[in-house]
Structure 1
Amino acid sequence: MDQETESRTYPLGRSRPDLALDDLPEPEQVFKVSRIGPRQMAMYVVGPSLIALGISIGSGEWLLGPQAVGQFGFVGVGWVILVSAVLQTFYNVECSRYVMATGEAPVVGWGRVPPGWLLWVPFSVFVVIFAFIAGGWAASAGQGLYALVHGEVAPAGAEEPRIWAIGLLVLVFVLTAFAKRISRSLELANWLMVGAILVGLILIDLFVVPWELWWEGIRGFFTPAAPPEGITATQLGGLAGFTALASGLNWYVMGHYRDKGYGMGYRTGYISGMRGDQQRMLDVGVTFPDNPENASRWRRWYRLLLVDMWGVFFIGAMLGMLLPTILMAHAVDISGTRPTTAQVPTFVATVLDAEYGRGMFYLALALGVLILFSTQLGIFEAMVRVTTDAAHATSPRLRRLIEGDPRRFYFPFMFVLMVIIAIVLHLALPVNLVQWSANMSNFGALIYPFMLMYLNSKLPKPARPRPWHYVLLVCNFLFFGFFFVNFIADFFGDPLVTF
């Protein structure tokens, strides 16, 4: 390799080719605007956080959080929610730092960590699919759709809710297939769904929930207390894992920053829908030379990332947890009963029906279906995206077979995965499926924070984290890792800690 070629590449990690070098683009160039003010932020810049938020509001927020509060109250549960949301949002920023600096999706970046891609890339794809293939969100949404159609909760073991769940998976396939740019279509869908969800929940809560319960919910976030007696390691670990997003596996969504064009993602391409023209998507990332101009541009991109994550995702996740949990607490108060695992998806709607009439019943059900569908939409697509990114980046034979068009792998694999999920969601109650996924997400916290520290420490100097960032990544490992170890101990015998 001659000196000129060497100067145009940047070595990072091992077993993957060096990154090419190019200048960071200006944000205005990427988003095709003359300036970025509040209006431009909302219309063009914000986006990946909404996809993550659409996934977030539906697992911890609609199922596990309300179930825990409905059974055990706010105190001793609320602080777990707050700590989890703070740590996960920070972790998201650090995952996205790598994507912005290299244009590589995280699953491809893991291949640069010793011993190399042959271990970490297939392992990471397996972990994501193993964690989320259960389809618990679609199954829960199917219960809500059954109740919307029939005006009553489905009997135990009914098959029709599962048929509705499979129909929702087909809808995800159609939405992505008819998109011009898949990430952009997901953003717009989540703008509509997340907006409708939050507005709808605020209006219902303002109408039915007493102010003292609002205060009790907010106070619960900031009240340090031991977990309540009777809550299990699986329940608390599931709540911690799926508050905000998916703890140690959050990286599986952050590749959308590449497709959005954040930082060096603008240089590496994106996955198009069938209606769009697929541009060439690079199989190796690109980073930037360390000079004052790129350092200045990096600071601008990093500020935009912080707005997207802390200003949209974190605030939305906390509202998404507060609003359903206080509604659940009110439903428990007025009904005198507590939700079981089987009842959680429709419990609030059933109670509101008895207390406030059929209109509130259908409104609560519709919101629940919307919440759970937005989650399944993001998770289903992300499993396909992670596998496509991994296969495209690591297999020259596949790239030749699909002639450089990742869609030729993306959509056939989505169809196969849809069939598998349709089978798996018959195997357990929906909330049990979600709890399994949440605790598998905590498993990721034992591994990926350290891999992220390795990668980010080797980025160009302007993009490297500060020392205290590493401390918070270790906190992710300790907090979520504890819940996973406790879950495994509980699963095979006695938990490490009983509450």
Structure 2
Amino acid sequence: MTEHPLGVSRPALTVADLPEPEEVFGVARLGPKELLKFAVGPSLIALGISIGSGEWLLGPQAVGQYGFVGVGWVILVSAVLQTFYNVECSRYVVATGEVPVVGWGRVPPGYLLWVPLSVFVVIFAFIAGGWASAAGQGVYALVHGAVPPAGAGEPKLWAIALLVLVFLITASARRISRALELANWILVGSILVALLLIDLFVVPFGQWWEAIRGFVTPAAPPAGITATQLGALAGFTALASGLNWYVMGHYRDKGYGMGHRAGYISGLRGERRELLASGVTFPEDARNTALWKRWYRLLMLDMWGVFFVGAILGMLLPTILMARAVELSGRRPTQADVPTFVAGVLRAEYGPAMFYVALVLGVLILFSTQLGIFEAMVRVATDAAHATSPRLRALIEGDPRRFYYPFMIVLLVVIGVIMYQALPVSLVQWSANMSNLGALIYPFLLMYLNSRLPRPARPRWWHYAILVLNFLFFGFFFVNFIADFVGDPLVTF
């Protein structure tokens, strides 16, 4: 069999053998050193986005105002459910070489509904630019030695400058995904090490224990917290709940499984590479089954060993620092000052050096998020347009870079305009609750697709049950957010 029909309205998947991991990564043997150097990567890009708005803005704000108990379990459940969801999204990518936004087009009634809708949902959810806006506040404070006054325009200019920096990073790359991996090795590594050292110096053991206890203690949400706040925390703990799929396409560009056969988006400095408009899958024989198991183990290692552990640390370390800052200052953060609240408290207690260290950390955290999100919006639109429009492929002569970079510039201008309209934390809360909208839709699309993969790649029954739990958990918060937005919430605390 040379074709594997899957779904509707898209060409059948061609069939070829899975590559060996050693072939993809160019090594004789895939040992621990090679795993770290070559196989780990897409999870770092996801983690760079993860350790951001939920961890530096929404989580600390919620903990700073309400404490850990009743909030922490939401963080843990969200992280576990999202990691399972990420694995299922990536399963499809590794088995077919198709990114999710293209795969959705195979679900009835077809690509004319699901592909444009999915591009719209991702851009609508993330175009607010709250991460760059909040990071701009941190840059302003670094430059002037003081938090910006209410309504200051200069932080917005710094935010736009950070978006331009994202453009320059991708433009200077040979292979965009690899450039993002390297950037996040530096950013995520620096963030986690620095946060750990600061927390060990500043936070007493009792607050460490209180935080850990809060993560594993089932308790009703604290009185006074709103459905929007709790839903935003659930949505942006780890990554972006139902919209996590928008980052999992990096497994294709990394060359995982059939992604090696499908191609990738190269940077301006890289050679032009063919990117297939439709995916490839593997035959159901003993050799390919064994290779699939190897690729799946690599995926599990990348997601659970790197992403999940990093996401939990990324939420724990900033939130206990915020809790300590609240205790030291006797004040609680507000939407307006949460991006620079910790830095201001640390300056009062420990001097200007800690002020600047905290500001640099905040800027790095929020910039790593905006780096991944900004690039991912461009990537999702590029993959969707390239895969579904033969006319566009002819216009750009099969080179997706000719769409990718002009679209990035347009998006940069639009985000720059939107950032002037609201406070950064308000923008991020809106985006987080829009992410929960995805949980009402995409788990079911994913079940449809993954149930039609070659048999060795299909999920077990309990994987479907966990996808339903994603729908129930995150979907509840979205429905409550909409009810709160238009009138009265379904549930109050």
Is 1:400 matched up with 2:400? no
Amino acid at match of 1:495: P
For residue 20 of structure 1, give the secondary structure of its aligned residue in structure 2: strand
Deviations 1:153-212 (A, max 9, x none): 000010000000000000000000010000000000000000000000000000010000
- 1:329 paired to 2:354: no
SS of the residue corresponding to residue 298 of structure 1 reads helix
TM-score, normalised to structure 2, is 1.00
2:20 match: 26
Tell me by how many angstroms 1:389 deviates: 0.1
Aligned to 1:225: 219
Report the Cα distance in structure 2 between the residues aligned to 1:342 and 1:379, rounded to whole angstroms.
Answer: 22
2:289 maps to which residue? 295
Secondary structure of the corresponding residue to residue 179 of structure 1: coil
Q: Distance in 2 between matches of 1:60 and 1:84?
A: 11
How far apart are residue 37 of structure 1 and its match?
1.3
TM-superposed deviation, 1:36: 1.1
- Which residue does the alignment assign to 1:87? 81
Structure 1 equivalent of residue 169 of structure 2: 175
3-state SS of paired residue (2:164):
helix
Instruction: State the match for 1:420 in structure 2.
Output: 414
Query: Are 1:238 and 2:232 matched, yes or no?
Result: yes
Deviation per residue, 1:53-108 (Å, 9 max, x gap): 00000111111000000000000000000000000000000000000000000000
The letter for the 2-side match of 1:196 is: S
Aligned-partner Cα distance in 2 for 1:204–1:328: 12
**Number of aligned residue pairs:** 493
Select which of 111, 116, 125 maps to 1:117.
111
Residue in structure 2 matching 1:216, options 210, 213, 220: 210
- In structure 2, stretches of 5+ residues that fail to align are none
Residues 1:160 and 2:154 are matched in the alignment: yes
Q: Which residue is equivalent to 2:100?
A: 106
Counterpart-to-counterpart distance in 2, 1:96 and 1:416:
29
1:422-467, Cα deviation, whole Å (9 max, x unpaired): 0001110000000000000000000000000000000000000000
Q: Which amino acid is the alignment partner of residue 119 of structure 1?
A: L
Question: C-alpha separation between the residues in 1 aligned to 2:450 and 2:168?
Answer: 37
> How far apart in 2 are the matches of 1:62 and 1:56?
10
1: CA distance between counterparts of 2:122 and 2:273?
A: 27
Q: Secondary structure at the match of 2:14?
A: strand
| In structure 2, distance between residues paired with 1:372 and 1:222 | 27
Residues 1:129 and 2:140 aligned together? no
Q: Deviations over 1:385-433 (max 9, x none)?
A: 0000000000000000000000000000000000000000111000000
**Is residue 2:295 matched to residue 1:320?**
no
Whether 2:339 is the aligned partner of 1:353: answer no
Query: How far apart in 1 are the matches of 2:270 and 2:405?
Result: 14
> What CA distance in whole angstroms lies between the structure 1 residues aligned with 2:343 and 2:333?
12
User: Would you say 1:436 and 2:445 are equivalent positions?
Assistant: no
Which residue of 383, 388, 392 corresponds with 2:382? 388
The share of aligned pairs that are identical, in percent, is 78
- SS of equivalent to 1:156: coil
Q: Distance in 2 between matches of 1:54 and 1:129?
A: 19
Q: Tell me by how many angstroms 1:312 deviates.
A: 0.1
Amino acid aligned to 1:291? D
> Once the 2 structures are TM-superposed, how far is the Cα of residue 301 of structure 1 from its aligned partner?
0.2
Partner of 1:14: helix, strand, or coil?
coil
Question: How far did 1:279 drift?
Answer: 1.1
Cα deviation for residue 236 of structure 1 reads 0.1
Amino acid at match of 1:489: A
Aligned to 1:409: 403
1:493 aligned partner: 487
Asked if 1:459 corresponds to 2:442, the answer is no
Residue type at the aligned position of 1:409 = F
* Residue segments in structure 1 that go unaligned for 5+ positions in a row: 1-6
- Post-superposition shift, 1:282? 0.3
Q: Distance in 2 between matches of 1:204 and 1:211?
A: 13
* Correspondence for 1:57 among 41, 51, 58: 51
Question: In the alignment, what sits opposite 2:269?
Answer: 275
Q: Structure 2 counterpart of 1:229, which letter?
A: A
Distance 2:292 2:467 in 1: 21
Q: Any idea what the Cα deviations from partners look like across 1:207-232, whole Å, max 9, x if unmatched?
A: 01000000111110000000000000
Return the TM-score normalized by structure 1.
0.99
1:290 alignment partner, SS class: coil
Q: Which amino acid aligns with 2:3?
A: T
Q: Is residue 363 from structure 1 mapped to residue 363 from structure 2 by the alignment?
A: no
SS of the counterpart of 1:345?
coil
1:344 shift after superposition: 0.5
- How far apart, CA to CA, are the structure 2 residues paired with 1:391 and 1:420? 19
